[in-house]
Homo-oligomer: A and B are copies of this chain.
Amino acid sequence: MADNLTSRKQDYAQWYNDLVLKGGLAEHSDVRGCMVIKPYGFALWENMRDVLDKMFKETGHQNAYFPLFIPKSYLSKEASHVEGFAKECAVVTHYRLKNDPNGNGVIVDPEAKLEEELIVRPTSETIIWSTYKGWIQSYRDLPILVNQWANVVRWEMRTRLFLRTAEFLWQEGHTAHATKEEAIAETEQMLDVYAKFVEEYMALPVIKGVKTANERFAGAEDTYCIEALMQDGKALQAGTSHFLGQNFAKAFDVKFADKNNNVEYVWATSWGVSTRLIGALIMAHSDDEGLVMPPRIAPLQVVIVPIYNKDAEARQKIDDKANALVKELRAQGIRVKYDNDDTTRPGWKFAEYELRGVPVRIALGARDLENNVAEVARRDEKTKASVSLDGLTGHVATLLEEIQNNMYNKALSFRNENITKVDSWDAFVKTLDEKGGFVSSHWDGTPETEDKIKELTKATIRCIPLNNEQEAGACVLTGKPSTQRVLFARAY
């Protein structure tokens, strides 16, 4: 299979697309911009979702579900929100079809026009805060710590599987608090949850920071983010957590009475990650032979492939041993498959599971059994070793953890090698063009300079890192005074 893959050097974008399609993760649908997430891709998303969901619940959140549709006027209630989200969206204008009197199938019934158009949610702050108005009267009703797993739609003209699609799956947390401090603490807590998830489960190091005003969520006072680095030197925003101040409470008139019966607007946060994370996972870890899945969230962690010869008795012995191994591994909570499909050869299977990024492959032949060993191959390093069948289960469990750590460390080294301190404009442009990665430079703090740099280089400020070192310097473009470096990069 690997022969048909484009290599990263040849064409990084095409390599990515090949992996998504040939790795069986997703494909384009007949509906412009909407993807089909195939079973293998969805199993990956389920694993990610389950881990995150557990982390949300452990931090006191509950799930709920809000309407898919948002009345058009709601988007306008928060001034900057409408600027950000009311542009490219799916608009429902009618609620009925009828048979075409000319016999050409069905047509929209012009008499079934909605009084007010409905927008398919691009994000749910407005519909949720209009709901919270009914839930909140007093401080006893706070905090509200709610999350929703949902599909959202943002009409996009140029789409890429997982990275930018018109419809995507995500979770959106929406919390309501009595005080500003509590809301900010929640915003920061959820950023930490995201960082922990992406680092410990996706094996992908991230930089925690805050966005500049230009890159802030439409309606937020502050947008916190985690930024990851892809193998082509471009950054990818892996999650955001927004401190929304009282903006949505004011837009939807949500107030509460505190213990002293003073009436105040409620404080809000929202935070989300999406199926875009799958794009990050692929671009950070995979290689020219295919996907490389971090064991902790891999849909399949171990595959066992029999190496049959023509001796029926030997085949039976291999099957017996493999089935026993499957049982043992499953008892350890390891996701394993025994692929004894007779219609494909071992070599084909090896390539197929390499393409799909299964972390560990065990090959088992008659001679191996005689020697009481199996051949164990790891996907990340593409090395293999002969391992005793005694204690193989323990070996595999340890190996999975080792692969997880190795993938993280490899990504961490790469990321750290690709943060470059730059102090002149020429070096700034040269670094972006020749090396890529994060460029750590001084910036004069104005949106105008940020815009100008974006216009000249396509690089944006990915974030101002949390706990950023303060140092005097001169803006890399304007030379004006600056108090700290920020991280620039070209980004997905």
Interface residue ranges, A against B (CB under 8 Å): 27, 29-31, 34-39, 41-43, 45-46, 62-76, 82, 86-98, 105-106, 108, 117-120, 127, 130-131, 134, 140, 146, 150-151, 153, 155, 167, 169, 343
In contact, A131 and B93 (Cβ under 8 angstroms): no
What residues of B have a CB within 8 angstroms of the CB of A130 in the complex? 30
In contact, B64 and A42 (Cβ under 8 angstroms): yes
In contact, A73 and B105 (Cβ under 8 angstroms): yes
In contact, A31 and B127 (Cβ under 8 angstroms): yes
A29-B131, A30-B127, A117-B108 are known contacts. Are A65 and B36 too (CB-CB below 8 A)? yes
A343 to chain B, nearest CB (A): 7
When chains A and B are docked, how far (Å) is the Cα of A38 from the Cα of B134?
12
What residues of B have a CB within 8 angstroms of the CB of A153 in the complex? 68
12 sample A-B contacts, Cβ–Cβ < 8 Å, listed by A number: A29-B67, A34-B69, A37-B64, A39-B146, A41-B64, A42-B62, A42-B64, A42-B65, A65-B169, A68-B151, A92-B120, A120-B120
A351 to chain B, nearest CB (A): 17
What residues of B have a CB within 8 angstroms of the CB of A46 in the complex? 63
When chains A and B are docked, how far (Å) is the Cα of A131 from the Cα of B75?
34
A43-B62, A62-B39 are known contacts. Are A96 and B106 too (CB-CB below 8 A)? no
When chains A and B are docked, how far (Å) is the Cα of A222 from the Cα of B39?
27
When chains A and B are docked, how far (Å) is the Cα of A35 from the Cα of B66?
7
In contact, B72 and A29 (Cβ under 8 angstroms): no
What residues of B have a CB within 8 angstroms of the CB of A105 in the complex? 72-73, 76, 82
Query: Considering only CB atoms, which chain B residue lies closest to A38 in the complex?
Result: B64
Kindly report how many copies of this chain are found in the complex they form together. 2
What residues of B have a CB within 8 angstroms of the CB of A87 in the complex? 96-98
Q: Which of B34, B62, B118, B167 contacts A90 (CB 8 A)?
A: B118
In contact, A155 and B62 (Cβ under 8 angstroms): no
Q: Which of B76, B93, B95, B343 contacts A88 (CB 8 A)?
A: B95
In contact, B89 and A343 (Cβ under 8 angstroms): no
When chains A and B are docked, how far (Å) is the Cα of A239 from the Cα of B66?
24
Q: Which of B37, B42, B63, B108 contacts A93 (CB 8 A)?
A: B108
In contact, B34 and A63 (Cβ under 8 angstroms): no
In contact, B64 and A167 (Cβ under 8 angstroms): no
Q: Which of B70, B108, B150 contacts A91 (CB 8 A)?
A: B108
In contact, A91 and B88 (Cβ under 8 angstroms): no
Instruction: Identify 7 new A-B residue pairs, CB closer than 8 A, beyond the known A95-B155, A151-B151.
Output: A41-B64, A42-B65, A45-B65, A67-B167, A89-B97, A97-B119, A140-B343
In contact, B63 and A127 (Cβ under 8 angstroms): no
What residues of B have a CB within 8 angstroms of the CB of A76 in the complex? 105-106
Most interface-central of A46, A68, A74 (chain B CB within 10 A): A68
A302 to chain B, nearest CB (A): 18
In contact, B62 and A37 (Cβ under 8 angstroms): no
Query: Considering only CB atoms, which chain B residue lies closest to A97 in the complex?
Result: B86
9 pairs of A and B residues whose beta carbons are closest in the complex: A34-B67, A39-B62, A76-B105, A37-B65, A91-B94, A95-B155, A31-B67, A93-B93, A86-B97
A31-B69, A42-B63 are known contacts. Are A93 and B95 too (CB-CB below 8 A)? no
When chains A and B are docked, how far (Å) is the Cα of A43 from the Cα of B62?
8
A249 to chain B, nearest CB (A): 17
In contact, B92 and A36 (Cβ under 8 angstroms): no
Query: Considering only CB atoms, which chain B residue lies closest to A92 in the complex?
Result: B90
In contact, B65 and A106 (Cβ under 8 angstroms): no
When chains A and B are docked, how far (Å) is the Cα of A30 from the Cα of B349?
53
When chains A and B are docked, how far (Å) is the Cα of A120 from the Cα of B70?
14
In contact, A75 and B34 (Cβ under 8 angstroms): no
A49 to chain B, nearest CB (A): 11
In contact, B63 and A36 (Cβ under 8 angstroms): no
What residues of B have a CB within 8 angstroms of the CB of A72 in the complex? 97, 105-106, 108
Query: Considering only CB atoms, which chain B residue lies closest to A128 in the complex?
Result: B36
When chains A and B are docked, how far (Å) is the Cα of A206 from the Cα of B422?
71
When chains A and B are docked, how far (Å) is the Cα of A88 from the Cα of B98?
9
